[in-house]
Structure 1
Amino acid sequence: MTTLSYSIANAFHLDLGNLDLLVKGRTIAVFPWTFMMPGQTFALTNAENSLVVRDLNYWARCESCKSIDAAADLQLLHHILPWSKSIIDRHLVSRNFVFIALLRVYTLPAKIEVLPEWIGDFSLLKQPIMVNNLQPVLADRIFAKRQQQLDKLSPSPYPQLETLQQQLDLASSSDLHIDSFNRDLRIFLEWEPPSPQPESLTDLKWINRICEVGNSSDGNEFEKLVRRSFLQLGFTNSLNNIKASLDPNATGGAGGIDIYGDRPFSLVGECKASKNESVPNSVSAQLIHLGMTHLGKETFDRSVKIIFAAGSLTPAAQQAAVQNQMNVMTPTTLQRLVTLKACYPGAIDLRELEQCLKQEPFGEDSDFKVNKYIDSIQHRIKTLAHIVSTLKNYLESQTFQEVGIEKFHVVFDLSHPPQRYSEEELYHMTIELSSPLSGYLGRIKGQDWRDDRFYFLRELIISLS
């Protein structure tokens, strides 16, 4: 395989804002004062504080350059690249056109120094270098897509989302949910590559302790972890009652319910950290007594009831659990459920979970029921991931930009999918994957659903075995 080498002898000066957008992959366009030769290579530097020797971290290769003078095209540029308006206006003060150059940006293998002397838009490097280890900021597919958009002066399909993301960048926030949403937006807009695994996996440290603590004799810690688990799943508690709480930093204490959440549905539970111990009937009796005491009969009767325990129920406890429609969930199963939520925040529909927990079987057999529910979600995620990868691989193999559902249904059936679907079923799944909140596929809407066309945006990464 031939290794490409590039010689870099000078640096191109950019406004700090434009440089930041380039190196973060948010644009590939610059507006040089003079025509830039395609194939020309140079380091990238900040035009501010240019009288000092500085270290540089990025270089670029000019892929194309052209002049734009039509008023309509210049107006289009303002909409496509809103940050460029002031730069374009500066150029138009002394002439009626601008040069737009499209740059492929790469990271430098090591820092280099630039001299302070300018020659037009450029200054010399302290020492010319050769680069052969190419590390592009944007993947080939994404760069080609951006290049095609700017060659055709096509507007962004998501201008409102771009504006929202820029506003989130400017706003300082310590809210982890806002930070996570901002990161998801950047990935969706292809301004940032997806992480090798979901960022939420950093939450798994405490989640991975659920099984261990549930199989120990540390009842208080297990109760706190169960409460934290249901907060993670999306439950809240509005009672303001320490005896029927969801506070993960406290316990129900003597005479209090171990766990209670009232939204999105009423759920009450008793925790029994049990290392090689059977769960006696007194646990079922206590859940009934405390539930009736603190919630009242009407609320308790309509609540989902769960005993969290690793040990087997005694025959009497099993009978009481079945008769009173109590689920039994092992720490292992709870850990699986919360891990799934951490890895795929939108995967668990709590209304579906409610229906699962309210239907037979109850008692110890209900643990199998919950695991079956988790298995069904994991199967669906794997199927959706297969759809995304199959569509991506097909488009890359055929060098197509997008594909219709009729053709893709044939391709999908030949790809050894986890499950086969009708054309209409597959269409609805691709619609789910192409929604703005998913952002794995893109969709070009046609006259009816059979005319819609889909294209690849980003991988759906499987993080669960």
Structure 2
Amino acid sequence: MSETVLLDTVLCLPDVDIEALIKGRIIAVMPGRFINLGRQFALCPNDISINSQPHEQYYHSSFLSFAQIALAKLDSEKNLIKAWAKCEGCNMFTLESFDALSKLSIWTKQGLQHKLGQRPHIFLVYLRVYLLPKPIEISTHSQYSLFLPLPASLSVPDTAPILSDRIFAQRKHQLENLQPPLHPELEELQCALASLAITNPTAKLLDEDIRVFLGWSNSKQIKQPSTNLAWINDIAFLGNRSKEQDEGKSNYQAGTDFEKIVRKSLEYLGFTVDEFHRGGAGGIDIFCSQPYPLVGECKAGKKIPNDTAVQLLNLGTLRLQNQELLKQAIKLIIGPGEPTTQLKEAAKVHSMAIINPETLEKLVQLESNYRNSVDLFKLKTYLKAGSSDQEVEKYLDQVYKEISLRSHLIQLVKKHQVNTGDENVEVATLYGAYGYSSPPQALSREEMHEILIELSSPLTGYLGRIKGTDWKSDRFYFLRDLPITSIS
């Protein structure tokens, strides 16, 4: 149940530390003094506390690129408050623990020693951080003070935590006990991706996946960049468009638009589209060289002309120098409406598959919702000669069932941890619970284990895995949800 929190003070911390808290990179800070459990405050950037030491000495070198980005955002006149926090505990650490603490944080051992000064210990304060609904600005203070009053009290909800309850508890336990990081290589990779992710969408997606896997981010906050994928919703529209439906545009132009979006769709699905073979008069609309050869003809309008199959065969024969390649290639016609009997017969004779623009759009939507879910080699077996929409629909249904099964197993692990308080769960326990969970399909224990291994891969990161002495003693724990998105 959500609550409303009233804030009247701010905690001043280095700007980089606050950015690291917001990104989930750290869950604790070194304010220099004890803070009472349960105290709540906004987080205000103020770098005066570390001005006496270069950032290169204070933060790990792998973290410096992120630190420099955060410092570049500093405003000499205004400070932007983007989050608030609640103190969830405070521990003291001495010099002997700095090696282990440094490996679990963004600070170097030298930086920790600087913070220690002449004192016998430092205070590490665990903060549960929440995003503000809207950032607020306050004036910069020239004098450093740990706590400052807000210009006016601020009422905020606790509905936007950076980390889930379970992930925060796990990481707090790890810090309190100075347990070594589980995936230091992935942490290095994430730091290397941080600056690249600003301008590279692919790097950004990988960066987000790694942060979720490492427990640095809440998966609910990560969303697909829908604005970049809005074109997917135009595939069927462009395929069914004709001159009568698009005033001022010829059928040839409408066909060219459809050809372009088909090429883009096939590339998105994972095909390598050969730019040498372009559409237009006397050209093949589509030729894909990888992962297997595919030639295609695109027809926009109200129906596919009867001679399309013969046209595709003739153009392929004329334009492809290697006729053996044409024999091996998947031959695909993409166009609107129900194919005529004549066209279906011709397509069967020449081993050509026919699909509607709507079917292509569903395939691309599936790939958009679940990256790498479309297996092009499996799809190949469903591209039957003649009208193939129903066959491809069967493939879509099969993939959806496989995703639903995986989502079900993830929820099974999650519910077991929530209901029992266990940090992880064995395969045997999950297998026993699976039978009482309205399972979507029957599974053997070995099949379940194979899927759990897949879901705990660093490249998927839905579950974590603690390897046992054999597969039966492997244990798994929840990391993030796999939501089911309709593709109909």
2-structure distance, mates of 1:213, 1:126: 55
CA distance in 2, matches of 1:388, 1:157: 21
Q: What TM-score does the superposition give when structure 1 sets the normalisation length?
A: 0.88
| 1:43-442 equivalence runs, <5 A | 43-48=42-47, 54=79, 56-69=81-94, 71=96, 73-108=97-132, 111=136, 113=138, 116=141, 122-127=146-151, 129=153, 133-135=157-159, 136-171=161-196, 174-195=199-220, 198-199=223-224, 201-217=226-242, 218-238=254-274, 240-241=275-276, 244-245=277-278, 252-275=279-302, 277=303, 279-280=305-306, 282-295=307-320, 296-357=322-383, 361-364=384-387, 366-442=388-464
Deviation, structure 1 residue 208: 1.6
CA contact (8 A) 1:115 1:125 kept: no
Change in 2 beyond 3 A, CA 1:313/1:62: closer
Q: Report the equivalent of 1:249.
A: none
Q: Secondary structure at the match of 1:376?
A: helix
1:203 CA drift (Å): 4.5
**2-structure distance, mates of 1:113, 1:168:** 32
Given the superposition, is the C-alpha separation of residues 2 and 102 from structure 1 closer, same or farther in structure 2, using an over 3 Å criterion?
Answer: closer
Deviation at 1:95, TM superposition (A): 3.5
Q: State TM-score, norm by structure 2.
A: 0.84
Partner SS for 2:476: strand
Output the amino acid matched with 1:337: L
Question: 1:197, 1:463 within 8 Å by CA — same for their partners in 2?
Answer: no
- Structure-1 separation of matches of 2:214 and 2:166: 14
1:47/1:193 CA distance change after superposition, 3 Å:
same
Partner-residue secondary structure (3-state), 1:199: coil
**Which position in structure 2 is the counterpart of 1:449?**
471
* Gap change, CA 1:378 and 1:97, over 3 Å in 2: same
1:163–1:268 CA distance, 2 compared to 1 (3 A)? same
Does the 8 A contact of 1:44 with 1:59 survive in 2? yes
Distance 1:31 1:305, change over 3 A: same
**What code does the residue aligned with 1:104 have?**
R
Deviation at 1:197, TM superposition (A): 7.8
Stretch deviating more after TM superposition (170-179 or 160-169):
170-179
**Distance 1:171-1:223 versus aligned 2 partners, 3 A rule:** closer
- Out of 393-402 and 305-314, give the one that drifted further: 305-314
Q: 1:297 to 1:23 in 2, by over 3 A?
A: closer
**Alpha-carbon distance in structure 1 between the residues aligned to 2:335 and 2:325:** 23
Q: Cα deviation per residue 1:207-261 (whole Å; 9 max; x = unaligned)?
A: 22222222233322222221111111111145x52xx24xxxxxx1111001111
Question: What residue is the counterpart of 2:251 in the other structure?
Answer: none
Q: CA deviation at 1:7?
A: 6.1
1:17 alignment partner in structure 2: 16
> Could you tell me whether the CA contact under 8 Å between 2:197 and 2:203 is conserved in 1?
no
CA shift at 1:454, angstroms?
Answer: 0.6
Q: Deviations over 1:144-167 (max 9, x none)?
A: 122111111112212221221122
Q: What amino acid maps onto 1:156 in structure 2? A: P
Residue type matched to 1:424 in 2? E
Report what 2:484 is aligned to: 462
Q: 1:130 to 1:289 in 2, by over 3 A?
A: closer
Quick one: which amino acid aligns to residue 327 of structure 1? A
User: AA paired with 1:458?
Assistant: R
The change in CA–CA distance for 1:2 and 1:234 in structure 2 (over 3 A counts) is: closer
Structure 1, unmatched stretches of 5+, are: 246-251
Q: Distance in 2 between matches of 1:18 and 1:400?
A: 32
- CA-to-partner distance for each residue in 1:317-369, whole Å, 9 max, x for gaps? 32221122111111111111111111111101122223333xxx4112x2221
Note if contact 1:15-1:46 (Cα within 8 Å) is conserved in structure 2: yes
Q: Which amino acid aligns with 2:410?
A: V
Distance 1:227 1:220, change over 3 A: same
**Aligned with 1:418: secondary structure?**
coil
- 1:257 counterpart letter in structure 2: I
Question: Separation in 2 of the partners of 1:75 and 1:225?
Answer: 55
Tell me if structure 2 keeps the 8 A contact 1:196–1:461: no
Distance 1:187 1:452 in 2: 22
Letter of the aligned partner of 1:456 in structure 2? Answer: F
Equivalent AA in structure 2 for residue 19 of structure 1: I
Q: Identify the range of structure 1 (265-274 vs 102-111) with the bigger mean alpha-carbon deviation.
A: 102-111
Any conservation in 2 of the 1:235–1:261 contact (CA below 8 Å)? yes
CA distance in 1, matches of 2:38, 2:483: 36
- Tell me by how many angstroms 1:405 deviates: 0.7
Q: Give the CA deviation at 1:48.
A: 2.8
Structure 2 runs not aligned, ≥5 long = 50-75, 243-253
User: 2:382·2:392 contact (CA, 8 Å) conserved in 1?
Assistant: yes
Could you say if the C-alpha distance between residues 422 and 309 of structure 1 is closer, same or farther in structure 2, counting changes exceeding 3 Å? same
State the shift of 1:76 in Å.
0.4
Q: 1:213–1:221: 8 Å Cα contact kept in structure 2?
A: yes
Secondary structure at the aligned position of 1:83 is classed as coil
User: What is residue 29 of structure 1 aligned with on the other side?
Assistant: 28
Q: 1:209 to 1:197 in 2, by over 3 A?
A: farther
